[in-house]
Copies of this chain bind each other. A is one copy, B any other.
């Protein structure tokens, strides 16, 4: 029930095509809301049927034509309604595939699990570096979105979450490695 609202949120900043929305998702929202471009296109048609967005076609000569979507008044109302639902009412935790595997990891050897966790730690480290280097404000500026200080504040808050999350995951791996090494003796 939320890719729809992510799209409404972005369209509340500016008019975008499906293709542009996909870029923004990949650049700025992917950490907490990965999205496929095909799904974005589908949701856009659903949103238009619902009357929450409206499209107009821009004819281009050097590139294929594009369809720009803008938020309608009803769409803006729906966005505000969604935002007004307390965060505490959302399901707190989603799915953590890595934990599901960890839960059943006793089937494999200690050595294998230690090596596997090491690789995973490296991947978290890489992702953390990528996140720290990311610059949402710049990316939005490229898309000619106005950077109001309040907006930037909440963008930064989500970036902070991403970094805290990866750091926590790395500390968790260190603890588990210690637990395994203790058990081994």
Contacts and interface: CB of A to CB of B under 8 A. Distances in A.
Interface in A126-185: 127, 148-151, 153-158, 160-162, 164-165, 168, 171-172, 175-176, 179-180, 183
Given A93-B32, A154-B106, A160 B176 contact: yes
Contacts of A155: 103
Number of this chain's copies in the assembly equals 2
B31 A93 contact: yes
Contact of A100 (B29, B97, B124): B29
Interface of A: 2, 5-6, 9, 12, 29, 31-34, 79-80, 82-84, 86-88, 90-108, 116-117, 119-120, 122-124, 127, 148-151, 153-158, 160-162, 164-165, 168, 171-172, 175-176, 179-180, 183
